[in-house]
Every structure is written in C-alpha cells, then in structure tokens.
Amino acid sequence: QLPPEARIWQVNIDKLRPSAFQPRIYFEKAKLEELAVSIKQNGIIQPIVGRKTGSGAIEIIAGERRWRAAQLAGLHEVPVILKNMQDQATLEMAIIENIQREDLNPVEEAEAYQRLSQEFQMTQQQIAEKVGKDRATVANIMRLLGLPDLIRQMILKSEISSGHAKVLLSIADQKTQIDLAKKIVRQKMSVRQLEKMAAAAVSGGHKEDENVVAPESNVTQRLISGLAEELQKIMGTKVSIDYHQSKGKIAVHFYSDEELTQIVDRLKDGYGKR
C-alpha cells in the first residue's frame, strides 16, 4: 500500500484555495488560457500539491496556475498530492517549484526571498543553498526591490526585462530611473540601447535630472554620479546621493538584515584601514 503522501487524490476543484505563501503575483491571462486548452485535451499531467487546513479546505502548495487553468477548462475535480508541511517548508517548496519551472518573474522571486529572510530569519546564503543558486545571485535579485514601484510593476508585466532592471539599478536617481523605464516601453529599447542611454545620463547627458540646477552643475552632477557608482562597488549594494546646492544626503540601500550586517562590516573594515 502506498504511503499517504504518495497517493494521488481526486479532489473537488472548489475545495482548493490559493496559498498565502504563493510567490507568484501575476498570472498572465493568455498563458492561462493556453494551459486551459492543453488541460482540456490532455488533462493535468502533474498533480497539484496541497495541504489540509483547519477549515477542511486544501491550501495549494504547488500548482496554483494548473488549478486556475483547470477552472477555465471547466474541470470539476483535479489530482492532488497531500503533504503535511509547515509554513516555511511550504514557502520554500513553492519558490523552488516555480524557479525550476522558470515560472517566477524576477520581482516575484525577489519578494519571495525577502519573505524567507524576514519571516523565517534565513540568511542570503541559506536561501541560496535552498534554491540552488549562489549568494551573489540571490543578493542581486533582491536588489530589484530597491527600484521604484512603477518599475517593479513594469517588470511584473514583462514590459521590461531583468536585464533592463539591472541597468536601471546602476542609476542613483529614481526620477531618471523612471524616465528611462518609460522610454524602454515606449521605444521598445534593447538592453544595449539602454546601457548607452544610462551612460549618457550618468555623464550628465540626461537633462531632466532634478539635481541639475544650473549650467555649471553638470560637472558637479557627473562627479556625484561617479561617486555613487564608486560607492556602490565598495558597498556591494545600491547607493543614491541626493545633492542640491552643496548639501544633501547619501542613502545606502539594503534588503535584509544579513546585507545590513555586511555593509556595516565593510564600513568598519574601511575605517580600520585609515
């Protein structure tokens, strides 16, 4: 006899519920409809994974996209494997399943890593080991959360790519980031084209920067942008400089307690060498 976790149950589709730990935020309608057509023709090949809740419903651990498409296909029952899993394991499995299937948008992936970090106190190294990536990759993905909300929404909707986002992260000024992101969509710019435009913005060619207050300030702005880039290399994270008429502030961005500790350690190391 098969153990309970190896059995496939046919479950009424209305008994299933999306999980609070689902890392996916955006489900593209056209792709769901394509999957629904496939399910009508071939059924659900890979069972949904779920866990029972106190109310008697089944919370989906992996397979919400299949469940949504099955509803569109008019199915009344779906195959489900039931597992007894705690919250952290549920989130971990949902992330891993989506990453392996390459279903997660970069912003969704970043927010999922942030949840593991904040809710379950996992370090970036521990997250990296769980998902099979190196720590630097996890850290770089989490830095996407430092982009303005408008740009994150563009990434979610696949209007701009993670390659575009990486270039935008190299720019300290948020207004410039947003202006360039809008141009990416409007002009259907490639990453290479964006790199050239970003370089022009950093060198003072982007006249819309609010910090440029006088003709001679272009030189100062180039120095400020260069300093921000240099600090980003030293800190290993995004650094923005708000400069106006010889006054301003420097902001060092971090996306987890672990990254904050690393920044503090770098500052201490640098101070100790003086």
Which amino acid appears at position 67 of this protein?
W
Phi-psi region of 84 (alpha: psi -120 to 50; beta: other; left: phi over 0): beta
64 is catalytic: yes
Catalytic pick from 5, 28, 34, 64? 64
Three-state secondary structure along 87-150? HHHHHHHHHHHHHHCCCCCHHHHHHHHHHHHHHHCCCHHHHHHHHCCCHHHHHHHHHHHHCCHH
The Cα 199–Cα 222 span in angstroms is 11
The Cα 114–Cα 123 span in angstroms is 10
The Cα 127–Cα 140 span in angstroms is 13
Which sequence positions are flagged as catalytic? 64
